[in-house]
């Protein structure tokens, strides 16, 4: 091997900026780092299981997939180990030294104001790894990719300033070990009870076992025990799950720290069998996935418990792109590709079911929990309106879910449904009146309104850019 023993490389400029922010600006909710690192370890296990579909040999060595957390009070280190996919030298440089991700800019922008120095945001931007530096002043990562030889191990190490070192090492085990050298004030993360509490809080529903040394009379013994639930939540019957379980799984799934607004969990058995667990978030995520219709993420496709890919685009129409969750199919072939997903008959049935279940969920929320629906509508109403144009089959249902400002109320809140409107129509009134304008105020004070008001006719006031376009497609209700 001619490789220099240790090589020092600079971080890419944007990584340095992220690191600077992480080490200097993130003070609240520091404990989130553990969730982020466990989430990466779990992703690595998912990736290995997926690659092993085509190459079963990859799983041959290294035992059952899982994650281990160890602490060392003398060395003041915390170690997180997984036996997942691991990384090659190039992958370490690519994944840890560089950020070719659109989220990074947005992360930097959203954290540049002082109001947002909240660690909990970090995972939503795809930069969770660097949260290690919130609590550690040195981080060492040792890894070997599944399928590579022990001589192809890599050690990456950095103090989180401007550079990192890389070394080729012997690494017998497949997977990754991350060692955090804790900052002087962070001793709480050397306390096994505190660590357990954090695993419970943030990582209970990670689908792989998280193991820690069992305590014997308060001291670590030799045996490991699993400290999380370690089962795919959606495979459990609804009757056995509490609201807290659903909420905490949602947070694990999305890195969102707000609770979801509502969810629907269904097992379908028949010609094909599958499970759906769909969530409505309360607010758009900070990574602003909603700015683009093309950049969709958030619905994960599993096939018989194996994570395959994010398939939001294949399983949901664009106007429902706020939905987060899991679809687990019993019948799709494990080797599906995106292309196959596009045209598969089973997939189109699942897609129709996702759409129907989401609309059912919205109906239920609108009917039974109007204030929560109003919350949802504030965040996602304009996205939902796209459905009027996009989904002619469900146009009537979607129209029923829309809310508008109206002359019936004195403020600009979008709270009036078409059904409300119809219920108040004058005897003999045949049409629904609406006015689109630049702003609510402009609509409200339009001369046309006065004339109609004199006849006692209510007018819906629309001022969103999408309204005019959507209304062209809604000629009847």
Residue closer to ligand ADP, measured from CB, 86 or 207: 86
If one asks whether residue 11 binds ligand ADP (CB under 6 A), the answer comes out as no
> Angle at CA 133, nearest 5°, toward 34 and 99?
95
Q: Which of 18, 41, 210, 212 binds ligand ADP (CB under 6 A)?
A: 41
**By CB under 6 A, what part of segment 323-362 binds ligand ADP?**
none
Binding positions for ligand ADP, 200-219, rule CB under 6 A: none
Instruction: State the binding partner of 312 from Mg ion, ligand ADP, none, CB within 5 to 8 A by kind.
Output: none
* CB nearer to ligand ADP: pick between 85 and 199: 85
Nearer to ligand ADP, 41 or 182 (CB): 41
Among 12, 29, 116, 126, binds ligand ADP (CB under 6 A): 126
For residues 449 and 437, what is the distance between their CA atoms, to the nearest angstrom?
A: 12
Task: Please state the closest distance from residue 178 (CB atom) to Mg ion, in A.
Answer: 12
| Sequence-ordered list of residues with C-beta below 8 angstroms from that of 56, at least 6 positions apart, any chain | none
Buried b (16+ CB within 10 A) or exposed e, 335-364: ebeeeebeebebbebbbebbbebbbebbee
The number of residues making up the chain comes to 477
Position 18 contacts ligand ADP (CB under 6 A): no
Site for ligand ADP in 396-455 (CB under 6 A): none
CB 261 within 8 A of CB 376: yes
Taking CB under 6 A as the criterion, the residue among 35, 38, 40, 463 binding ligand ADP is 40
d(CA 340, CA 276): 20
31 touches, from ligand ADP, Mg ion, none (C-beta below 5 to 8 Å by class): none
Three-state DSSP at 28 gives strand
Please say whether the beta carbons of 288 and 126 come within 8 A: no
Edge-to-edge strands, sheet with 433-436:
405-406, 459-462, 433-436
Nearer to Mg ion, 40 or 179 (CB): 40
Measured at the CA of 128, the angle between CA 149 and CA 203, to 5 degrees, comes to 90
Element (H, E) at 133: helix 132-135
CB of 255 to Mg ion, least distance (A): 8
- Residue number with CB closer to Mg ion (96 or 261): 96
Question: What track of x and - describes contact with ligand ADP for positions 71 through 110 (by CB under 6 A)?
Answer: -----------x-xxxx-------xx--------------
Task: Pick from 34, 69, 127, 199 the residue near ligand ADP by CB under 6 A.
Answer: 127
Taking the complex as a whole, the smallest distance from the CB of residue 176 to ligand ADP amounts, in Å, to 4
Number of amino acids touching ligand ADP (CB under 6 A): 17
Rg from Cα positions in the chain:
26
| DSSP calls for 259-300 | PPSEEEEEEE-SSS-EEEEEEE-SS--TT-GGG-SSS---EE
Least distance between Mg ion and beta carbon 37 (Å)? 8
| Residue 225 beta carbon to ligand ADP: minimum distance, rounded to whole angstroms | 22
Identify which of residues 79 and 95 has a Cβ nearer to ligand ADP in the complex: 95
Give percent helix, percent strand, percent coil of the chain, each to the nearest 5. Answer: 45, 20, 35
State the residues that interact with Mg ion by CB under 5 A. 40, 128
Residue number, 135 or 449, with CB nearest to ligand ADP: 135
* 55-74 residues near ligand ADP, rule: CB under 6 A: none
Could you give the count of Cα atoms lying within 13 Å of 104 in the half-sphere of its Cβ? 17
Of 41 and 316, which has the nearer Cβ to ligand ADP?
41
Q: Which is nearer to Mg ion, 40 or 158 (CB)?
A: 40
Residues of span 268-297 touching ligand ADP by CB under 6 A: none
User: Closest distance between ligand ADP and the C-beta of residue 216, in Å?
Assistant: 29
Longest dimension (CA), the chain: 90
CB of 87 to ligand ADP, least distance (A): 5
CB of 201 to Mg ion, least distance (A): 17
Q: Is 129 a binder of ligand ADP (CB under 6 A)?
A: yes
44 binds, among ligand ADP, Mg ion, none (CB under 5 to 8 A by kind): ligand ADP
CA distance to 15, 192, 237, 429, 448, per residue, from 455 (Å): 63, 73, 56, 11, 12
Among 212, 223, 281, smallest CA distance to 38 is for 212
Among positions 137-176, residues that touch ligand ADP (CB under 6 A) are 176
Closer Cβ to ligand ADP, 253 or 354, answer by number = 253
Q: Are 34 and 136 in contact (CB under 8 A)?
A: no
Dist CA 201 CA 203 (whole Å): 6
Q: Which does 329 bind (CB under 5 to 8 A by kind): Mg ion, ligand ADP, none?
A: none
> Strand order in 175-182's β-sheet?
6-10, 163-169, 153-158, 136-144, 175-182, 77-82, 67-72, 210-216, 219-226
Q: How far is the CB of 286 from ligand ADP (least distance, A)?
A: 13
State the burial class of residue 125 (Cβ atoms within 10 Å of its Cβ: 0-12, 13-18, 19+). Answer: buried
Which residues contact ligand ADP (rule: CB under 6 A)? Answer: 36, 40-41, 43-44, 82, 84-87, 95-96, 126-129, 176
């Amino acid at each position: 091997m001619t490789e220099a023993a240790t090589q020092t490389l600079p971080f890419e400029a944007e990584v340095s900026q992220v690191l600077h922010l992480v080490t200097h600006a993130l003070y609240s909710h520091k404990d989130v780092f553990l969730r982020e690192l466990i989430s990466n370890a779990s992703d690595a296990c998912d990736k290995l299981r997926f690659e092993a579909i085509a190459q079963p040999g990859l799983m041959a060595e290294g035992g059952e997939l899982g994650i281990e957390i160890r602490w060392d009070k003398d060395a003041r280190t915390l170690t997180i180990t997984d036996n997942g996919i691991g990384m090659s030298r190039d992958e370490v440089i690519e994944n840890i030294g560089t950020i070719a991700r659109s989220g990074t800019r947005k992360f930097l922008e959203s954290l540049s104001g002082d109001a947002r120095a909240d660690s909990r945001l970090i995972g939503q931007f795809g930069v969770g790894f660097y949260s290690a530096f919130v609590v550690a002043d040195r981080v060492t990562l040792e890894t070997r990719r599944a399928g590579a030889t022990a001589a192809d191990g890599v050690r990456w190490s950095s103090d989180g300033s401007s550079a990192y070192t890389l070394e080729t090492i012997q690494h017998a085990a497949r997977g990754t070990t991350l060692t955090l050298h804790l900052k002087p004030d962070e001793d709480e993360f050397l306390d096994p009870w505190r660590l357990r509490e954090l695993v419970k809080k943030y990582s209970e529903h990670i689908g792989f076992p998280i193991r820690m040394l069992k305590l014997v009379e308060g001291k670590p013994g030799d045996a490991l025990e699993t400290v999380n639930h370690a089962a795919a939540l959606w495979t459990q019957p609804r009757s056995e799950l509490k609201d807290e379980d659903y909420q905490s799984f949602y947070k694990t799934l999305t890195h969102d720290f707000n609770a979801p607004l509502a969810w629907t969990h269904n097992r379908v058995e028949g010609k094909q069998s599958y499970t759906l667990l769909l969530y409505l978030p309360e607010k758009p995520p900070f990574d602003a996935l909603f700015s683009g219709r093309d950049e969709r993420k958030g619905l994960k496709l599993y096939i018989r418990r194996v994570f395959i890919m994010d398939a939001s685009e294949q399983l949901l129409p664009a106007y429902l792109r706020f939905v987060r969750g899991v679809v687990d199919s019993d019948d799709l072939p494990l080797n599906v590709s995106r292309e196959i997903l596009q045209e598969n008959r089973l997939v189109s049935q699942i897609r129709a079911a996702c759409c129907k279940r989401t609309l059912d969920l919205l109906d239920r929320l609108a009917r039974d929990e109007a204030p929560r629906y109003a919350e949802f509508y504030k965040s996602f109403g304009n996205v939902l309106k796209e459905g009027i144009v996009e989904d002619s089959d469900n146009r009537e249902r979607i129209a029923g879910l829309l809310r508008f400002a109206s002359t019936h109320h004195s403020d600009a809140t979008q709270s009036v449904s078409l059904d409300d409107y119809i219920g108040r129509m004058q005897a003999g009134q045949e049409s629904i009146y609406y006015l689109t304008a630049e702003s609510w105020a402009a609509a409200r004070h339009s001369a046309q309104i006065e004339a109609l008001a004199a006849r006692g006719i209510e007018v819906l006031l629309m001022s969103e850019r999408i309204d005019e376009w959507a209304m062209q497609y809604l000629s009847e209700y």
